[in-house]
Amino acid sequence: MTIRILIVDDHPVVRSGLRALLASQPDFEVVADAENGEEASTLSASHIPDVVLMDLQMPVLDGLTAIQRIHARQPEVRILVLTTYDTDADIVPAIEAGATGYLLKDAPPEALFRAVRSAARGEVTLAPSVAEKIARRLTKAPENSLSLREIEVLELASRGNSNKDIADKLYITEATVKSHFVHIFAKLGVADRTAAVTAALKMKIIRLDSGMAGSRSRFTCHGDD
């Protein structure tokens, strides 16, 4: 499957560099690029990309507002923040606005490629430093203590279920699944779904051959959601 990408950044050199970098991958196609959030919103509506690479600090219309607009009008479009800013004031609003992932511009190319592919699948990907900052916001919860619902989400993810599959099986929305993954990543100190499943297996929070009932008996939970 070809992943259609819209690049949004106010620096021409950055847009050009990202185009060249993404063109090296046979399953990527850059359909357009925009220099501000207003243009991004318009181009997203006309080109219908699979993934939008979104900068945050831009003239005319900032990235956060653009995320809100695109997510409201095109919830099927996945938005991956690619920025130099990693403060709580930037990260949390972007995720809450509808961003699927949050990556920093100093990420190596392979990390960017993985993040784009994960975003296209609707999976959450966070830069390691971003995951750490979110973890610090969850200090009220004991370390590594997942809720019952978070364990259920991880169990289903370990069996290869997509976010949509998980949402359907648990009778929740894909947005709720995404939110659960953000909290799971923070609690386990990881940056993506594969690492979360691996960590949970090592910690015996889940087992590949276990049912959800087994997880409930083996782990102390803190509420359904």
CATH number of 3-130: 3.40.50.2300
**Mean pLDDT computed over every residue of the chain:** 85
Sequence spans of domains, the chain = 3-130, 138-218
Reply yes or no on whether the pLDDT at 141 is more than 60.
no
Whether residue 6 has pLDDT greater than 70: yes
Its sign, for the CA torsion 75, 24, 91, 193, is positive
pTM of the complete model beyond 0.85: no
Q: Tell me which residue of 4, 65, 13 sits closest to 40, measured CA to CA.
A: 65
Half-sphere exposure of 50 (CA within 13 A, CB side): 18
Which helix (DSSP H) or strand (DSSP E) does residue 25 occupy?
none
Q: State the pLDDT at residue 144.
A: 53
Q: What region does 103 belong to: left with phi over 0, alpha with psi -120 to 50, or beta? A: beta
What's the CATH architecture for 138-218?
Orthogonal Bundle (1.10)
Taking residues 27-55, report their average pLDDT: 97
Given pLDDT bands bounded at 50, 70 and 90, which one contains residue 87?
confident
